[in-house]
Structure formats: structure tokens, C-alpha cells
Amino acid sequence: MRKYEKICPVILTIWPYLFFLFLIVPDETGRNHMLFLTIYTILTVIIYGFNIWNAFVFRDTEEKLALYGMLVKLFHIPFYLAGFAAGILCLLVMVVPAFLFLSPAMIAILAAVEFFLMIVSSMYGISAVLRMTKKKELSKISAVVCLIAHFVFVADVISSVYLYRTIKKKRCRYYSSG
């Protein structure tokens, strides 16, 4: 196994949380925050791209692929909850006239950030589904349901856990019978 195959999911797991460094970067002029956002955005595109690529050229087993996908999804739950709480807060402050136009934009940005993170983290599960379907270890109906679920909030986590458990059960049955 190549080293980057293991490090890419780890980086993807911690990457969203590094955004919170934005809150502790001291800045009086706004230049540091703008520089941080620019660098973070560029690195986000690179990291997301590497993770998508890694998910489809992964050389290890489908079980490892599904495990990484499931772990990334589970570790992202607090980030999604924080984004949801921030979105609710934006809705609540809309009673202040200044936030009437700012809040919808903030909510749209939050939704876009979380959606793209969900899609990128789903690539490990999608790759595992495609491989298992190709090897006929997963039925076409289960594959379609898992693929669709990987594009829906909350269902993506359930699908990744289901996928990992399915692979694990099949491998246990295979090794115990052989």
C-alpha cells in the first residue's frame, strides 16, 4: 500500500476542523483573514481533488476503502452539527435588519461547504460500492441505494456504515467457510 493512500483520508478527516483556526488568527486590518481564506480555499480544492483521485486508485481491499469512508463520515458529524447550528443562528438573527440580507448568503455558503465535503468524503464509499458490484459481492439494488444515499445528508453516514458492515459480514462468512 502506498503511504498517501492512508494519509489522504486522515487529512480529509481533520481538514474541515482546521478552518476554525480562522477564528483565532489575530487580525485588525482584515488582511490576515483574507490571506487565510485564500490559502485555505486553494488547499481545500487540492486536498479534495487528491482524495477523489485516491478513492478511485486505491489499491487495498474494498473493506479498507469502506472503513476509511465510514470513519471520515463519522468524524465529520461534529463539523456538520456546528454548521447546522451556525445556520440556525443565522436564521434567528434575521430579525435584525442588517442580517436580513447577510444571513441567506451565509446559509448558502454553509450549505455549499458542507455539501461539497459530503460529496468528497462519499467518494471512498462510492468507490467501494462500484468495486463490490463489479465483483458481484453487492446486489445491484443495494448498490443503487448506497450510491443514492451517499448524496443525501445523514443517509450518507447510514449508507457508509451499512456498506462497511456488509463487507465485513461477507468477508467473515468467506473466511469462516473456507
Domain count, the chain: 1
Q: What is the pLDDT of residue 176?
A: 62
The series of mean pLDDT values per 10 residues for the chain, 178 residues long, is 84 94 82 90 97 94 94 97 95 91 94 96 96 93 96 96 92 64
How far are the Cα atoms of 26, 87, 110, 112 from residue 101, in angstroms, in the given order? 27, 14, 15, 18
Q: What is the pLDDT of residue 178?
A: 53
Asked whether 87 and 107 are in contact (CB, 8 A), the reply is yes
Q: How far is CA 34 from the centre of its chain?
A: 25
Range of the domain at 18: 3-177
Specify the pTM. Answer: 0.90
* Total length of the chain: 178
Q: What is the pLDDT of residue 171?
A: 75
